[in-house]
Amino acid sequence: MHISPVLWQFLVKWLNASALFPREASTIAPYADALYFFLLLITVVGLVLVGVLVFGFSIRYRKEKHPVAVQVEGSTLLEATWTIIPLALFLIVFVWGALLYFRIYNPPTNAMNIYVVGKQWMWKAEHPGGQHEINALHVPTGRPVQLTMISQDVFHSFSIPDFRVKREVIPGRYSTVWFQATTPGTYHIFCTQYCGTNHSAMIGEVTVLSPDDYDKWTQESTSGMSLAQNGERLFASMGCNACHSGSAAARGPNLAGVYGSKLQLASGSQVLVNDAYLRDSILNPSQHITAGYAPIMPTYQGQISEDGLIDLVEYIKAMQNNYRVQQTLTTSQSNQAAPTTPGTVKP
């Protein structure tokens, strides 16, 4: 469907000015709005057409003009017309909506990833560089941003109306959505799934910055350690490096470079190693036994928070070799083996 750009801008600006419609602040927003206005158009046309026909027939076939009922024979052409035209419109909407859906939920490969954890009643955003935000999200313009989201308690729904973004946030499972902001400014975040007493207070703001301002913000807002660095510390503190050292005698599979690969399981099936698989294999290791290894890994269900799981996932994703793993393992073993004397403390 083609519409004049001038007419489109007039329509959008009029709706924004009258507060009837959210702003278009992402690359996907015009495409979503075009489908919405098409649906609105055929609805209005259908309503007017049916209304005119009902009014016309009620006048033409009123009792005063036709006191005795007369049989009106059907028309095959007429029946085919009112069947084919609506069917064609439904198919157009179906194909259009499907193409838009796949466009919204398939992020570009170069998208910047930000984790979002929903919990009663707040949104927590975690950037790979170590920036943490509560009920706020900073993103740059002109760059695709993927949100990897999960709930820590009940069902939530993450929505940014100005970006035409809405995605369910589910306990125990990652869900993703992406957008590319086009206009600097501040935009609302809502939870659109009733989640308890303070559901209406589960709101926040997205701040869209220019690329230079965003780089400045990341430098000023860092906590000093990235998610992967936090994950490395957690990996060592929980003793994961004792089994996943990457050596030939290791009791667990080598994790270096495993992300994005196809892994052979003991059941004979293959699985793609992505964020969801890494998270689930930490919490339910008995369901994901790698071929050639014994099922000795304990479950960490209830022992690691969603934030900790995100740190571990980011660390494993960034792991390209086992040098740091073996280094921390050697240091840990040396500290345990170091003799102590009275009056001294083991390092």
Q: For the CA atoms of the chain, what is the radius of gyration? A: 29
Q: What does the longest C-alpha to C-alpha distance in the chain come to?
A: 117
Crossing angle of helices 227-237 and 323-337, in 10° steps, is 40
Q: What is the pLDDT, as a whole number, of residue 135?
A: 93
Of 214, 144, 217, nearest to 182 by C-alpha is 144
d(CA 320, CA 316): 8
Which residues, other chains included, contact 4 with Cβ-Cβ below 8 Å and sequence gap of 6+? none
Q: Which residues of 6-25 are buried (b: 16+ CB within 10 A; e: fewer)?
A: eeeeeebeebeeeeebbbbb
Tens-of-pLDDT digits for all 347 residues of the chain? 556 666 666 666 666 665 567 888 899 998 998 899 899 999 999 999 999 999 998 888 787 777 777 777 778 888 898 899 999 999 999 999 999 998 888 888 889 999 999 998 999 999 888 888 999 999 999 999 999 999 988 999 999 999 999 999 999 889 999 999 999 999 999 999 998 999 989 999 999 999 999 989 988 877 668 888 888 888 888 888 778 877 777 788 888 888 888 888 888 888 888 888 888 888 888 888 888 888 888 888 888 888 888 888 888 888 877 656 655 555 555 555 545 444 443 33
For tokens 């900073």, the residue is 138
Q: What angle do CA 200, 206, 212 make, to 5 degrees?
A: 170
CATH superfamily of 227-331: Cytochrome c-like domain (1.10.760.10)
CATH 1.10.287.90 corresponds to the domain 5-105: yes
C-alpha of 198 from chain center: 23
DSSP class of residue 166 equals: E
Domain ranges in the chain are 5-105, 112-220, 227-331
Q: What is the pLDDT, as a whole number, of residue 4?
A: 65
Q: Which residues of 205-217 are buried (b: 16+ CB within 10 A; e: fewer)?
A: ebbbbeeeebeeb
Which residues, other chains included, contact 321 with Cβ-Cβ below 8 Å and sequence gap of 6+? 246, 256, 257
d(CA 315, CA 3): 48
Q: What is the pLDDT, as a whole number, of residue 345?
A: 36
CATH 2.40.50.140 corresponds to the domain 112-220: no
d(CA 75, CA 72): 9
Q: What angle do CA 109, 115, 121 make, to 5 degrees?
A: 145
Q: What is the pLDDT, as a whole number, of residue 326?
A: 58
Query: What are the tokens at 97?
Result: 């909506």
